[in-house]
Structure 1
Amino acid sequence: MNRLLKQASMVVVSTFMMASMLSHAAALPDFTELVEEASPAVVNISTEQKIVAKAANENQPQLGPNSEELNEFFKHFFGQQPFGQQAPPPQGQRSSLGSGFIVSHDGYVLTNNHVIDGADVIHVRLNDRREYVATLVGTDPRTDLALLKIEATDLPIVKMADSDKLKPGQWVLAIGSPFGFDYTVTAGIVSATGRNLPSDNYVPFIQTDVAINPGNSGGPLFNLDGEVVGINSQIYTRSGGFMGVSFAIPSKVAMSVVEQLKKDGKVSRAWLGVLIQDVNNELAESFGLDRSNGALISRVLPDSPAEKAGLQSGDIILEFNGQSIAHSGELPYVVGQMKAGDKVDATVYREGKEQNISVMLEARPNDSETLAQSQQDQSRFGMVVGDLPAEIAKRFDIESGVIIEQIIGGAAARNGLQQGDVITMLNGKPIDNVTSFNEAAKAVPNGRSVPMRVIRQGYPMFIPFKIVE
C-alpha cells in the first residue's frame, strides 16, 4: 500500500512539474513574426575612409586638451568605444561595420554618429541585398545620432514607439550586424530606464541585458509590438565584448533629433547655464529638505539665462517646465528638449521655501565658448571645479576653497575624490578660488603624489593625490 501511495505521489509531482514547465514555456514570447516583419527595414552600414599616417594616440577619441586620463577612463568603462573601433592602418582605406534602420519610405536612415564619423563614403545595404551610397544629412554627437539619405522610394520602414512608456522587465529585441554577421537577432529585458552616463548628459539611456556587440551600433531595439523603442549605442565592458549591460538611446530622443536634422541639418538646444549636482541624504538634511530630491545648483555661469533669471548657487531645482526633477541628471535632458526663446517656470527650494522663477532660455553656446566662459575644464585632473557656494561655506564653516562639481574620471576617480568635496589646499598651497586652483594645478607633477586637503561633508582630510603619467 505504501509503495502504491509513493508511486502515486511521484506521478502527481511529475505531472505538476511538467505542467509548470509547459506553462512557463508558453509564457515566453515567440519573436519569429516580429523578426520577419521588422528585418526588411533594418540595414547594414559600412564606411570607407582615407587614412594618412598618424600617431597612434591621434586615432583615439579625444575629449579635450590633455585628455589622456579621460580616454583611459572611457576605455575601461565602455571597453572599445565606439563599438568595434580599431586603430586604423597607417594609410589607405578602412571599412567599419554598423547597423541602422529606415525611418521613411523615401530613404531616410538613422544610425549612430560614431558609426559614420569621419567617413568619406557611406554604404547602406538593405535586407534584399540592394546597396546604396548614402548622403549624410546631419549628425548630433551629443546624442550619438546621425541621419543618412539614400536615393530610393517605397522602402519598408520601422514603426516608432513612445519610449516614455517603456518599463523595466519588459521584453525587447535587437536586430543588427555584430562582427559583420548580418541580421543577427538577440533578445532580453529592459533592466532600467533613464540611466545617465558620464559621457552623455542629454540622453536618459535605456539599459538592457540584450547581447550587443561591435556591429550592433545604430541598430534598432524593438518592443514586442515590433515598434522601435531605442537605438543600440553603448555597452559596459571590461573585456571589450558584451558583459550583460548595454544601453540604447530612447526613440523619443531620437525622433526629436531626426526632425531637426531633416529641417536644418543640425540640432539646436536650449541652454540654462548652471552646473549642478545630486542632492544626497546628508545635503537634503542640511538644506532642510524632507528627502533627497532635485538638482542642486553649485554654480551659475556668468551672463547665462540662469543668472539673468535670478537663480543662485545653492538653489535646488525641484521642477522645471512642469516636470519633476528627482535627480540632477534629469535636468540637462529636460532643458535640452526645449528651444531657445522658450519661457519656462522653475520651482526652486531656497532658504527653506519653495518659489517659482521664470527663465527665458537661450541658444546653447558652442563648446569652446562654454569652456572659455566657465574655465572649468580640469581634464588633466578628471574633474570640474567651481567657486565655493556661500551657503555651503557657511554650513560647514569653510573659509575658502573650490567645490568639485563633477567627476569625469581619470586621476580624480582613481584617487577617490567625490562630487561635492571641497578642496582647500593643493601641494602645500592654499586654495581660495578657481583661479588659485588652476595655478596650483599647473605645478602638480605627473607620477608623484602631492598632498591635497579635502573637506567632505564637514570633515577635513588629507589625501595623496597622484596623476599617472
Structure 2
Amino acid sequence: MFDRYRFVGAICAALVLAVSPPARAQLPDFTQLVEQNNAAVVNISTTQKVAANEQQMPEGLEIPEGTPFDDFFRHYFGEGGGSDGQPSEAKSLGSGFIMSADGYIITNHHVVKGADEIVVRLQDRRELVAKIVGSDKRSDVALLKIEASQLPTVKLGSSEKLKVGEWVLAIGSPFGFDHSATAGIVSAKGRSLPSDNYVPFIQTDVAINPGNSGGPLFNLNGEVVGVNSQIYSRTGGFMGLSFAIPIEVAMQVVDQLKASGRVSRGWLGVQIQDVTRELAESFDMKKPQGALVSKVLSKSPAEAAGVQIGDIVLEFNGQAVDTSAALPPMVGMTKVGEVAKIKLLRNGAIKELSIKIGALPDEEEPAMGTAEPDAVPLKRMGASVADLTPELREQFEVPRGGVLVYGVNPGPAYEAGLRRGDVILRIQDKEINGVKQLVELEKTLPAGKSLAVLVQRRDGSIFLAMKLKDEKQ
C-alpha cells in the first residue's frame, strides 16, 4: 500500500541533503598549524640612541604607550627626554621567523633600521642579542643572526601557487603581544605600492598591526608564503588591507645578503608609467596596457638596446606586462648580465629587442632650479612657457630642447595635469626645441583628440594626455 506520508518524508530528506553545504565548505582549523610553527616565530625589540640635540617630542603632546603611533613618535622624537643634555633611547618592536637551525632570522628592514641593539626573544623566553647580516631598503627585508643551535624552523612554500581567496595565517607580536595568530584570505596578488616598485606584494585581509612587521604569513599547509610588511591605514591600526612580501622575493634577497651583505638588482634604465585610456587613444591602442617609457637614461642598458621614449613595453622575457607596476619586479629579479627579451609597441608596430640587464644604481636626488625667466602665453593650452637657460638645463637635467612651464591657467593644460615647473619635451611625435617652435606647433594641433605630452619633473619624466577644445580659441 502506498504510504504518502513516508514518501513525502523521503522527498524532504533528499532536499535537505541536496541543499546542505559540503564538508569542504567548513572553516579551516588552524590549531595544528599554530602549534607546529609558534616556536619558530620570534619577537624582535630594538633600541636606538637619540642624541640630546635631536628633535624631542613637541611640548604638550603626549602619546599613550602602545598606540599605533607610538613607534613613529618614539623613532623621530625619542622618549621625550634629553632636556638634561643626556642622550635618550628610541625603542621599537617587530617580529621575525627562524629560517635555519643555526640562528638565521628573517624580518623587515624597517624593524631594525638604525638600531644600536637588537634583542630576539624566543618562545622559551630566552633573549639573545642579534647582529644584522644585511638589510635591504628596497624590498624591506633584513637578515639577522643569533648565536644558538638546534632552533625550530619554519617550512618555506611558494607564493606563486597562492590563489586569491585562499586562507592564510599570520603569527607575530602586534603591539608587543607575543605569538598572536590572525587569519584571513588572499585578497590580491602582485600589488605595487608607490614606495616599493620592486616588490609584487601579496594583499590579504589578515589583521596586521604595528609589531606584526617581519612575521611570517602561512598557507594552510603550514608553509611560509610571505613576510608581513605593511598595512594601509588611516588610523595607524588594521583596516582590512595588509601587504606581505612574497617568499620568493624575500629569499632571493636573503641569499644575496648572506653571500655578500648587499643586494644587486636588474636594471633597464627607463622611467615608465601606466597607459591610461586617454593615452591609449593618443597612441591608437585598442585598450590601455603595458608600461609606457617616458625617459631613457643616458648610458643605460635600455639606451644601448635601442629603447626609445614613447615605446610601450608589452612583454618581458615572455611574461605579459599588463601595467607599468608589473615591469620593475620582473626586471629587478633578473640576474645582472643576463640577456632579456622585450616586446614593445612603437608607432603602431610590434618590435622585439634584446637587452643585457645592468645593475640597479644607488638612488640620487635630482636638483631643482628656482629661476623664473620671461614667459610666452599659449592660449589654446592655457599655459605660459619660457626657454631654458644653460643653468636651468643643468638643474632640470635637460641637455637639449624643451620649454619651461612658467604658469598654468584653468584649461586643457591644467586638466591634463600640467603644472608650473614642468618642462615640456614632446607633443605626440614632435620634439619641442623652444618657445618659438611650440607657439607655431600649437596652432596646428588637432582639437577633440587626446595628445600625448611628455614632460620632465623633479621626480622623473611622465606622459600627460591633453585634449584641446577647439583650434581657434
Distance 1:374 1:283, change over 3 A: farther
Q: Does 1:88 align with 2:73?
A: no
> Which of 419, 428, 432 is 1:391 aligned to?
428
Does 204-213 or 318-327 show the bigger shift?
318-327
After superposition, the Cα gap between the structure-2 partners of 1:58 and 1:113, relative to the gap in structure 1 and judged at 3 Å, is farther
Give the C-alpha shift of residue 220 in structure 1. Answer: 0.5
Offset, 1:137:
0.2
Q: Which residue in 2 is equivalent to 1:133? A: 129
Q: Is residue 179–residue 215 contact of structure 1 (8 Å, CA) maintained in 2? A: yes
- 2: CA distance, partners of 1:331 / 1:300: 15
Match for residue 354 of structure 2 among 348, 358, 361: 358
The answer as to whether partners of 1:298 and 1:386 remain within 8 angstroms in 2 is: no
Assess, with a 3 A threshold, how the Cα gap between structure 1 residues 387 and 111 changes in structure 2: closer, same or farther: farther
CA contact (8 A) 1:83 1:234 kept: no
Q: CA deviation at 1:315?
A: 0.5
SS in 2 for 1:37: helix
Map Cα deviations across residues 297-352 of structure 1 (whole Å, 9 max, x no partner). Answer: 01111121111111000101111122221110111111111232222121111121
Shift of 1:383: 12
- The alignment status of 1:149 with 2:145, answered yes or no, reads yes
Q: Distance in 1 between matches of 2:308 and 2:350?
A: 14
Equivalent AA in structure 2 for residue 30 of structure 1: D
Superposed counterparts of 1:257-276, under 5 Å? 257-276=253-272
User: Match of 1:312?
Assistant: 308
TM-score under structure 2 normalisation? 0.72
Match of 2:241 among 238, 242, 245: 245
Distance 2:438 2:267 in 1: 29
Larger helix fraction of residues:
1
How far is the alpha carbon of 1:238 from its aligned partner? 0.8
Mapping 1:348-427, distance limit 5 Å: 348-368=344-364, 388-389=425-426, 391=428, 422=453
Aligned equivalents of 2:343 and 2:24: distance in 1? 50
Q: Per the alignment, do residues 51 and 384 of structure 1 end up closer, same or farther by CA in structure 2, a change over 3 Å counting? A: farther
**For each residue in 1:80-137, what CA deviation from the matched residue of structure 2 results, as whole angstroms up to 9, or x when unmatched?**
5987965422432232111000111111100001111111110011111122101100
Out of 262-271 and 82-91, give the one that drifted further.
82-91
Deviation at 1:16, TM superposition (A): 4.8
User: 2:467 is matched by which residue type in structure 1?
Assistant: G
Quote the residue 2:34 is aligned against: 35
CA shift, 1:382, in A, is 11
Contact 2:343 2:350 survives alignment (8 Å): yes
Aligned mate of 1:197, from 193, 196, 211: 193
The answer to whether the aligner puts 1:293 opposite 2:330 as a matched pair is: no
Aligned to 2:100: 104
> Which one of the candidate residues 307, 314, 321 is aligned to 1:325?
321
Q: Which residue of 2 aligns with 1:466?
A: none
- How far is 1:370 from its partner? 7.7
Secondary structure at the aligned position of 1:215 is classed as coil
* Distance verdict in 2 for CA 1:311–1:107, change over 3 Å: same
* Closer, same or farther: CA 385–105 of 1 in aligned 2, 3 Å: farther
Q: Deviations over 1:186-245 (max 9, x none)?
A: 000011111111111001111111101111000001000011111111111111111111
In 2, are the aligned partners of 1:83 and 1:214 still within 8 Å (CA)?
no
Counterpart in 2 of 1:176?
A: 172
Matched pairs, number: 385
- 1:261 positional shift: 0.3
Residue pair 1:388, 1:400 contacting (<8 A) in 2 also = no
Deviation string, structure 1 residues 125-167 (Cα, Å, up to 9, x no partner): 1111122101100000001111000111111111111111111
Unaligned runs of 5+ in 1: 60-78, 402-419, 424-432, 442-453, 462-469
Deviates more, 1:316-325 or 1:198-207: 316-325
Q: 1:365 to 1:455 in 2, by over 3 A?
A: closer
Letter in 1 for 2:425: L
Q: Deviations over 1:362-407 (max 9, x none)?
A: 222211288899958xxxx999967534535589xx9659xxxxxx
Distance of aligned partners of 1:460 and 1:384 in 2 relative to their CA distance in 1, 3 Å threshold: farther
Distance 1:342 1:25, change over 3 A: closer
Q: 2:354 is aligned with what amino acid?
A: S
CA distance in 2, matches of 1:234, 1:106: 28
Partner of 1:457: 466
Q: 1:422 to 1:209 in 2, by over 3 A?
A: same
1:341 equivalent to 2:337? Answer: yes
Q: Which moved more, 1:361-370 or 1:202-211?
A: 361-370
Return the TM-score normalized by structure 1. Answer: 0.73
1:168 shift after superposition: 0.9
- Does the CA contact (< 8 Å) of 2:46 and 2:118 recur in 1? yes
Task: Note if contact 1:232-1:248 (Cα within 8 Å) is conserved in structure 2.
Answer: yes
For the pair 1:51 / 2:60, whether they are aligned, the reply is: no
RMSD of aligned Cα (Å): 3.7
Alpha carbons 1:313, 1:389 under 8 Å: kept: no
CA distance 1:186–1:459, shift in 2 (3 Å): farther
- 1:346 is matched by which residue type in structure 2? I
Cα distance change on mapping 1:217 and 1:385 into 2, 3 Å: farther
Q: In structure 2, what is the Cα distance between the partners aligned to 1:348 and 1:384? A: 31
